[in-house]
């Protein structure tokens, strides 16, 4: 999404299960939250901010990586007040040649665990980059092992939320499910919830830099991770060596604008999927992909399928179909399970759809992403439509794009329709100095539309757009072996060569 949102599901590629105890993390985020004034200036400095101690690495349980944690203040206005510890993971540069320092990854979401995902992401990073950089990732505050917010509706409920109520004047259907979330999360995490936002996370990232002993860091953000990266470059421009923003999100855009741009992108990607399925002899929907999909959507509109069971009592709905659809479209190479799930649902078994939909709502270890993803999204958003306005937007997008387009409203803003005003929303991403950043945009991205990559490049002021003519969400998930893109990325990260102003990789 924009200021947040469920972006960049790297678990699309997950083929391994990681333990939930990769690194011990001690937290102290339960103190009473204190309202803070406007964000510090562009320098990112905060009053009386003591530097963190150096990172002490130790072997990660069950992994050939190193794990650690770094302390950060809960409220940067009071840096000596309550603190929490940010979980870290590292894979040192493999060589040959000297290390070029840390390359820090954020996998997006928001809310996904970088500690869990780095072992998967590493295999997709160009070999020359792996050789020259210490690959680092972390769990943002409120996520994973860094005081994860476990609150809000269950992943099953969220996956099954209907995207639109066609009756005029009706609120967004998800408003009823998300209505009590903010107050429930605040009761459970009274000292932390309002400080789980991207501006605080950007300051956390600089404390990570200090703890790593690095004068500068390189950074690679995917999807929502582009918001965090852009904020870091704005606050700490002199601390950036190089930065790749892959799958651009304009975090300062209103949520409604993001939804309006994503809706046609989802529809275009789905049409492309239908064309691909028709030409694939192994696709079980090959006879009539669009017709069979429409038939299932109509059936689920009239009557949900029975709950899958095994601890999942929630019926399978049209919302599950659209959630699973976006999941599959984000990484087409992963989509083999999707047509089988649609075919099974047509035969009365919705368990396959629910399983795919849950992959969009859960982290690799099965923990819920609902609390952290919506806390970050809503705390970043300068404003969010109320239930009635969101319902009207969903109807308008459905009229132009069909109900699958209206799903963009549920996906991007449903959890924020009753959220309190944020303390430190994202209002600008302009970068005042430092190196030229590299933005990667996929022309067929259903999740972070190409138009957003163009606008983010413009808004940053110090950025260059690289266009990848491909389908799916982010380049690294869908074209990591593309020789044109690998050459561009290697040249930028290792050689310091800024891409040309009209760089396109077909």
> What does the pLDDT look like over 120-130, one tens digit per residue?
999 999 999 99
Q: Does the pLDDT at position 21 exceed 90?
A: no
Q: Does the pLDDT at position 290 exceed 60?
A: yes
Residue 135 forms part of a structural domain: yes
Q: Are residues 315 and 353 in the same domain?
A: yes
CB atoms within 10 A of CB 132: 22
Overall number of domains in the chain: 2
Residue 241 forms part of a structural domain: yes
Q: Are residues 58 and 134 in the same domain?
A: yes
Which of 361, 389, 416 terminates a domain? The answer is: 416
Q: Are residues 218 and 263 in the same domain?
A: no
Q: Are residues 209 and 311 in the same domain?
A: no
Classify burial at 285, counting beta carbons within 10 Å of its beta carbon; exposed 0-12, middle 13-18, buried 19 or more: buried
CB atoms within 10 A of CB 431: 24
**Residue 408, domain extent:** 155-188+258-416
Q: Are residues 232 and 168 in the same domain?
A: no
- Name residues whose C-beta falls within 8 Å of residue 481's C-beta, 6 or more positions apart in sequence: none
Compute the distance between CA of residue 159 and CA of residue 321 in angstroms, rounded to an integer: 9
Q: Are residues 213 and 80 in the same domain?
A: yes
Compute the distance between CA of residue 17 and CA of residue 119 in angstroms, rounded to an integer: 11
Classify burial at 51, counting beta carbons within 10 Å of its beta carbon; exposed 0-12, middle 13-18, buried 19 or more: exposed
Residue 137 forms part of a structural domain: yes
pLDDT in tens, 296-313: 999 999 999 999 987 899
Compute the distance between CA of residue 132 and CA of residue 299 in angstroms, rounded to an integer: 53
Q: Are residues 391 and 292 in the same domain?
A: yes
Supply the pLDDT for residue 49. Answer: 74
Supply the pLDDT for residue 469. Answer: 97
Classify burial at 179, counting beta carbons within 10 Å of its beta carbon; exposed 0-12, middle 13-18, buried 19 or more: middle
Supply the pLDDT for residue 243. Answer: 98
Q: Is 62 left (phi over 0), alpha (psi -120 to 50) or beta?
A: left
Supply the pLDDT for residue 333. Answer: 78
SS3 173: coil
Question: What average pLDDT does the segment 213-242 reach?
Answer: 98
CA within 13 Å, CB half, 213:
6
Q: Are residues 242 and 118 in the same domain?
A: yes
Tokens of 251: 């975090």
Residue reference for tokens 């990591």:
480
Supply the pLDDT for residue 33. Answer: 33
Which of 416, 438, 469 terminates a domain? The answer is: 416
Q: Are residues 141 and 160 in the same domain?
A: no
Among candidate residues 439, 437, 440, 436, the one with its CA nearest the CA of residue 479 = 440
Confidence tier at 213 by pLDDT (50, 70, 90): very high
Query: Do strands 134-138 and 102-106 pair parallel, antiparallel, or not at all (unpaired)?
Result: parallel
Residue 17 forms part of a structural domain: no
Residue 35 forms part of a structural domain: no
Confidence tier at 18 by pLDDT (50, 70, 90): very low
The CATH number for 231's domain is: 3.40.50.1820
Residue 31 forms part of a structural domain: no
Reported pTM: 0.92
Supply the pLDDT for residue 154. Answer: 96
Residue 490 forms part of a structural domain: yes
Residue 6 forms part of a structural domain: no
Q: What is the mean pLDDT of the chain?
A: 91
What 8-state DSSP symbol labels residue 332?
G
């Amino acid at each position: 999404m924009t200021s947040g949102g469920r972006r960049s599901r790297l678990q699309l590629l997950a083929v391994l299960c990681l333990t939930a105890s990769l690194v011990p993390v001690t937290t102290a985020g339960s103190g009473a939250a204190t309202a803070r004034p406007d964000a510090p200036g562009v320098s990112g400095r905060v009053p009386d901010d003591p530097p963190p101690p150096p990172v002490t690495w130790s072997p990660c349980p069950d992994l050939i990586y190193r794990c650690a944690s770094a302390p950060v203040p809960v409220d940067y206005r009071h840096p000596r007040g309550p603190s929490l510890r940010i979980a870290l993971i590292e894979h040192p540069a493999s060589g040959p040649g000297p290390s070029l320092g840390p390359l820090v990854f954020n996998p997006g979401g928001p809310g996904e665990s970088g500690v869990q995902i780095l072992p998967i992401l590493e295999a997709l990073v160009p070999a020359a980059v792996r050789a020259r950089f210490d690959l680092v990732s972390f769990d943002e505050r409120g996520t994973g092992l860094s005081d994860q917010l476990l609150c809000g509706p269950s992943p099953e409920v969220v996956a099954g939320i209907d995207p639109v109520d066609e009756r005029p004047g009706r609120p967004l259907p998800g408003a009823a499910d998300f209505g009590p979330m903010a107050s429930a999360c605040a009761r459970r995490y009274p000292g932390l919830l309002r400080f789980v936002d991207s501006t605080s996370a950007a300051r956390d990232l600089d404390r990570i830099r200090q703890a790593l002993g690095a004068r500068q860091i390189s950074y690679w953000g995917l999807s929502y991770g582009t918001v965090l990266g852009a904020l870091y470059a704005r606050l700490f421009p002199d601390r950036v060596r190089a930065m790749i923003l892959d799958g651009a999100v304009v975090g300062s855009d209103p949520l409604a604008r993001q939804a309006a741009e994503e809706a046609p992108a989802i529809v275009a990607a789905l049409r492309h999927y239908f064309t691909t399925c028709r030409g694939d002899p192994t696709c079980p929907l090959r006879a009539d992909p669009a017709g069979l999909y429409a038939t299932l959507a109509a059936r689920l509109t009239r009557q949900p399928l029975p709950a899958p069971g095994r601890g999942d009592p929630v019926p399978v709905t049209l919302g599950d179909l659209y959630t699973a659809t976006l999941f599959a479209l984000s990484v087409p190479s992963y989509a083999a399970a999707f047509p089988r799930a649609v075919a099974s649902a047509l035969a009365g078994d919705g368990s396959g759809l629910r399983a795919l939909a849950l992959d969009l709502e859960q982290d690799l270890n099965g923990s819920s992403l609902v609390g952290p993803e919506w806390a970050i999204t809503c705390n970043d958003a300068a404003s969010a439509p109320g239930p009635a306005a969101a319902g009207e937007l969903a109807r308008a997008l459905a009229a132009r794009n069909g109900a699958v387009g209206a799903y963009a409203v549920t996906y991007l803003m449903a959890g924020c329709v009753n959220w309190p005003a944020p303390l430190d929303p994202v209002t600008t991403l302009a970068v005042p100095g430092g190196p030229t950043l590299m933005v990667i945009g996929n022309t067929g991205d259903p999740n972070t539309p190409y138009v957003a990559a163009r606008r983010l490049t413009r808004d940053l002021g110090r950025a260059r757009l690289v266009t990848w003519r491909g389908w799916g969400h982010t380049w690294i998930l869908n074209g990591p072996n593309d020789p044109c893109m690998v050459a561009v990325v290697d040249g930028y990260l290792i050689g310091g060569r800024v891409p040309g102003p009209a760089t396109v990789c077909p």
